[in-house]
Amino acid sequence: MAVTDPAPRRRAPLAPWFTGTLKTVGSIAATMLGLLFVTFIIGRVMPIDPVLAIVGERASQSTYDAVYQQLGLDRPLIVQFGIYVWDVIRGDFGMSILNARPVAEDIARVFPATLELATIGVIIGIVIGIPLGVASAVRQGSWIDQVARVVALVGYSMPIFWLGLIGLLIFYGILGWVGGPGRLGIFYQDIVPDRTGMILVDSAIAGNWDVFRNAFSHIVLPASLLGYYSLAYISRMTRSFMLEQLSAEYITTARVKGMSEWSVIWGHAFRNIRVQLITVIALSYANLLEGSVLTEIIFAWPGIGSYITTALLAADMNAVLGGTVVVGLIFICLNIFSDLLYRVFDPRSK
């Protein structure tokens, strides 16, 4: 009897993976192109003459025409848009009118301050918001649930500028527990080398703990304020997700089998909401990165929010549009990152 070779193993087709990757890249490209189109149109419809903002109102007509042609404003709009897209791809957002420096350099200088502030804020939101939301769902109707719901309601209702001013008045002006506006006290300026742009990280790398403590005293209040808004959102969504899971039949079955409450809550119910929380946390982080304008203004925090606001008041449209594009890129990158985490925590999404 002839012995037949076993059937060769079939390799997983690459077509689905390639198609999924192609769709993701296409979606990112389309989103980015749409963002650039919107910012380009905004720059053209704003009632601000970019040429006058550069040359001034007393410039001669010949000077005005020369700058007008130099900026490419005499070309068709489609050509201007193509040039704009190509410049953004190269990281060229033009020159700032305020300081005559490249906008890309300014954004690279101010963005780490916002990144440091928002990162601490979202960490506060995660560390407090998730356990608070879980406890609120598990003890539905109890005093813990009522407190969590009031905390979330206040976080959504109170204007952030009002809380910031009250916080400065109480914790800085009256009690003196925290540092005032700005990132550092005057005495501690320019002591540690600027390596990452984040003072807490730079001072820790340099081993200068006096600067670290001073920087922490300045960041703790604005970061806590942003963290409060983040935890209000995260706790509310966590509570909603957990209530849905705790009412499911598999939770009842797990309890009937005698599993511990800890295993039921964290091993089963919470495990099934992790993917949903990824989106919530990513959106919260993106909102803190781009929505901390009022906080940065109140606390004189030199981040991208205050940079865009200052540029807008000075009609520096290159800086405004450059900052807007960077904020849009942040949203796109965080969406990509959350999609990758989806694939890690939920293999069914691959």
In the prediction, which pLDDT does 296 show?
86
Q: Between residues 266 and 25, which one has the greater pLDDT?
A: 266
Residue 16 above 60 pLDDT?
no
Residue 348 above 60 pLDDT?
no
Work out the average pLDDT over 10-31: 64
Work out the average pLDDT over 189-198: 86
Work out the average pLDDT over 96-125: 88
Burial 161-199 (b: 16+ CB within 10 A, else e): eebbeebbeebbeeeeebbeeebbeeebeeebeeeebbb
Q: Where in the chain are the domains?
A: 25-89, 110-349
Q: Between residues 155 and 216, which one has the greater pLDDT?
A: 216
| CB-based contacts of 349, cutoff 8 Å, min separation 6 | 275, 342, 343
In the prediction, which pLDDT does 213 show?
92
Report which listed range, 20-24, 28-32, 148-152, is most confident: 148-152
In the prediction, which pLDDT does 126 show?
93
In the prediction, which pLDDT does 122 show?
92
E strand map for 81-233: none
* Structure confidence by residue, pLDDT tens digits, 24-59: 677 777 888 888 888 888 777 776 667 776 776 777
Opening angle at CA 208, ends 203 and 212, nearest 5: 55
Q: What is the CATH number of domain 110-349?
A: 1.10.3720.10
In the prediction, which pLDDT does 149 show?
87
Residue 12 above 50 pLDDT?
no
Residue 337 above 70 pLDDT?
yes
Q: Is 262 in a helix, a strand, or coil?
A: helix
Residue 4 above 60 pLDDT?
no
Distance (Å) of CA 67 to CA 45, 62, 97, 168, 201: 19, 9, 13, 46, 43
Q: Between residues 331 and 115, which one has the greater pLDDT?
A: 115
In the prediction, which pLDDT does 350 show?
53
- Indicate the pLDDT class of residue 17, thresholds 50, 70 and 90: low
Q: Between residues 282 and 344, which one has the greater pLDDT?
A: 282
Work out the average pLDDT over 323-329: 85
Q: Which of these, 168, 286, 163, lies nearest to 225 by C-alpha position?
A: 163
**At which residue do the structure tokens 């295993």 appear?**
263
In the prediction, which pLDDT does 346 show?
62
CB 242 within 8 A of CB 134: yes
Burial class (CB in 10 A: 0-12, 13-18, 19+), 45: exposed
Considering the chain, what percentage of its residues have pLDDT values greater than 90? 13
- Indicate the pLDDT class of residue 139, thresholds 50, 70 and 90: confident
Residue 11 above 70 pLDDT?
no
Residue 338 above 80 pLDDT?
no
- Indicate the pLDDT class of residue 85, thresholds 50, 70 and 90: confident
Residue 249 above 50 pLDDT?
yes
Work out the average pLDDT over 71-95: 81
Among 188-202, 314-328, 329-343, the range scoring the smallest mean pLDDT is 329-343
Q: Between residues 70 and 85, which one has the greater pLDDT?
A: 85
